[in-house]
Chains A and B, each alone.
Chain A
């Protein structure tokens, strides 16, 4: 069974530029999550989708971050414009359904903002 796929693995941009990250969850997983992991910290939930609807985006900085999950499968996380403090690893995870506690994570996309 294929795991959660993310791309790109690494991205370096200058502040005020834009960037987009892509995630393909495990087939059949209804719930998709984007987490931000800053160096030295635990992952922080940015947004959670159930199928293609948003369940929780309370910690998403909506003035610069946006995310979508078209057709309830792939998802894209965008940052525009980027700030220095956005440097982090962006982790995508999926689960078969909410409430199981077992999230399957991708390898992450490491963003460096200069």
Chain B
């Protein structure tokens, strides 16, 4: 069965520290991969996406993600976290025919001073 796993429900990071949010997927073939962010009371916003090519993709707000086929992972990273990054982050996948976008359960990021 196709699935997306975000193993960390909550993560707390000090402001200025680096961040890595994990995402693993289970699909028959390499799907399209996405990261979305949801700030409190807001809709989801696309941070970045991977379709093909360079496995390190850059997104908005200083985020990047690396696709690792051998590990079926698409982890999100940021070198220095800002207090405004506190939000919920969702990994999502879609098959190559893009029939459906499936979201993980999300990781809530807390930023401490």
Contacts and interface: CB of A to CB of B under 8 A. Distances in A.
Contacts of B99: 56
A48 B42 contact: no
B105 A42 contact: yes
B106 to A, nearest CB: 5
B98 A42 contact: no
Which of B4, B32, B94, B101 has most chain A Cβ within 10 Å? Answer: B101
B13 to A, nearest CB: 21
Nearest to A6: B43
A42 B106 contact: yes
B98 A99 contact: yes
Given A40-B105, A41-B105, A42-B105, A108 B51 contact: no
Interface in B34-57: 34, 41-46, 49, 51
Given A40-B105, A42-B103, A42-B104, A102 B90 contact: no
B69 interface: no
Contacts of A103: 44, 46, 101
Contact of A91 (B34, B44, B45): B44
A91 B101 contact: no
A98 B98 contact: yes
B9 to A, nearest CB: 8
A106 to B, nearest CB: 5
A13 interface: no
Contacts of B4: 42
Interface of A: 3-4, 33, 40-45, 48, 56, 91, 93, 98-99, 101-108
26 contacts: A4-B43, A41-B105, A41-B106, A42-B92, A42-B103, A42-B105, A42-B106, A43-B44, A44-B103, A45-B100, A45-B101, A45-B102, A91-B44, A98-B98, A99-B98, A101-B32, A101-B34, A101-B49, A101-B94, A101-B98, A102-B49, A103-B44, A104-B43, A106-B43, A107-B42, A108-B43
